[in-house]
Structure 1
Amino acid sequence: MEAQQNIITPEVVAQSLPFSGYLELVRAAVAQEKTTGLEQSAFLAQLTKDNLAIMERTYQTPLEPDLVNLLREVPRPQLWLVLTEGWCGDAAVHLPVLAALADQSAEIELRTVLRSEQPAVMDAYLTNGGKSIPKLIALHAQTLQPLGTWGPRPQVLQDYVLELKKQELPLLDFIKKSLQHSEEDNGQALQAELLHLLPHWVRASLT
């Protein structure tokens, strides 16, 4: 963990955006027929345009009352830093839910950084060796000590995606089916996992 503690510095945090700022960044990219970050293509621009509509409606996802109560009892400040990009469908589905949940706690601040602009952070938080996003890194707000992580998707959706990959579908069909399944879940699997993870993060913040 020592390397990870040093990866996320105050300078990295200073380059981050709140969810509202990230949403404006995506809107500006779409207006220019672009995506976010350093990787640009017409394909990624189209994905970003489609994802913008998903993000704007997903922010209204119903929140689990038990999780909301838990969030409101968080005793020490946490920083939720999320690696994301506008072209990522999983980020479009899950980042707004994370932002809405963070809004419920006076002690949690959610910030976003772009995967392509923070390669060292991304490399420190790989998933099975891959640069999968969104990736939430929960940090002690003062020390930036890592408390835990989540992402890129809930395990139940991850299992579905792995099965989907076995079908060797065309890329657009794969993306469409994966997103549809995630949207139908409506943030419930994510919230169920956070209900389990958050107490661990709180305990870590107290040590």
Structure 2
Amino acid sequence: MKIPIGKALFKSHSYSEYRKLVSDLLRNEKSTGKEQSPELTNYSSLNETRMNRLEKTMKISEEIIQSLKFLKNEYIWLVISEGWCGDAAQLLPIFDKMTDASEGKIELKIVLRDENEELMNLFLTNKAKAIPKLIVINRETGGALAHWGPRPKGAADLIANYKKEHGALDETAKADLQLWYLHDKGMSTQNEIIGMMLDLDNQTD
């Protein structure tokens, strides 16, 4: 196991612990992370509302549930996140429901980006500290097998095309991204991740 992964796992949070941490900070008008601002606190508050809704409405497809249950190996999903991150708010409830559906084959652990810089630097996206980042770890060996994120391909394409056309991201881009997630209903994320997991699981055949 790489030392940064071991360190991160040691101070990681379960999904419910992460949710409580973000909620407790919001009660004091704070967000997670080193930087504090009214804007980041507002994003965190919006994200809490989104996650509450997704926890009630998000469904994992029956086909994917069966695939998760019948994984041969056991895994840890170590996710790098922050409470203010809009993509994380859309994706963490999916990760949580998928790990629940796996019936013990996968355990979800969450760490904060700004508290785990060494880990984050191992999993950059185009040299940027983009989150959320899901790292798949073999529970038996502690080795990192693969990583996914910060968003599914359709959402990534939307953002890339917007940047190409407008030069930078703005509130319109963020609104467009949230609409994409709303219409997708988590299916792209589920399909991409189960595809990755089945590929990894089959490598032991």
Same fold (TM over 0.5): yes
Given the alignment, which residue of 19, 22, 25 partners 1:26? 22
Partner of 1:97: 94
Which runs of structure 1 show a deviation greater than 4 angstroms over 4 or more consecutive aligned residues? Answer: none
Partner of 1:197: 196
Partner of 1:131: 129
Task: Mark the runs of 5 or more structure 2 residues left unpaired by the alignment.
Answer: none
Task: Mark the runs of 5 or more structure 1 residues left unpaired by the alignment.
Answer: none
Share of identical aligned residues, percent?
31
Structure 1: which amino acid aligns with 2:71? Answer: V
Could you say what secondary structure the match of 2:166 adopts?
A: coil
Judge which range, 112-121 or 66-75, deviates more: 66-75
User: What is the rounded CA distance, in whole Å, between the counterparts of 2:93 and 2:79 in structure 1?
Assistant: 11
Kept after mapping to 2: 8 A contact 1:138/1:147: yes
Structure 1: which amino acid aligns with 2:177? Answer: S
Alpha-carbon distance, 1:196 to partner:
1.3
User: What is the rounded CA distance, in whole Å, between the counterparts of 2:55 and 2:169 in structure 1?
Assistant: 29
Kept after mapping to 1: 8 A contact 2:5/2:119: yes
Equivalences for residues 164-183 of structure 1 within 5 A = 164-165=162-163, 166-168=165-167, 171-183=170-182
Equivalences for residues 1-207 of structure 1 within 5 A = 5-9=2-6, 11-60=7-56, 61-105=58-102, 106-165=104-163, 166-168=165-167, 171-204=170-203, 206=204
Kept after mapping to 1: 8 A contact 2:79/2:108: yes
Could you say what secondary structure the match of 1:113 adopts?
A: strand
RMSD between aligned alpha carbons?
1.7
Could you say what secondary structure the match of 1:103 adopts?
A: helix
Structure 1: which amino acid aligns with 2:54? Answer: T
Alpha-carbon distance, 1:171 to partner:
2.4
Structure 1: which amino acid aligns with 2:12? Answer: S
Judge which range, 46-55 or 60-69, deviates more: 60-69
TM-score w.r.t. structure 2 length?
A: 0.92
Structure 2: which amino acid aligns with 1:58? Answer: L
Kept after mapping to 2: 8 A contact 1:85/1:115: yes
Alpha-carbon distance, 1:38 to partner:
1.8
User: What is the rounded CA distance, in whole Å, between the counterparts of 2:30 and 2:171 in structure 1?
Assistant: 18
Aligned pairs, number: 202
Judge which range, 113-122 or 137-146, deviates more: 137-146
Alpha-carbon distance, 1:94 to partner:
0.7
Kept after mapping to 1: 8 A contact 2:68/2:194: no
User: What is the rounded CA distance, in whole Å, between the counterparts of 2:169 and 2:137 in structure 1?
Assistant: 38
Judge which range, 64-73 or 112-121, deviates more: 64-73
Alpha-carbon distance, 1:140 to partner:
0.8
Deviations 1:138-167 (A, max 9, x none): 001132201211111111110011112233
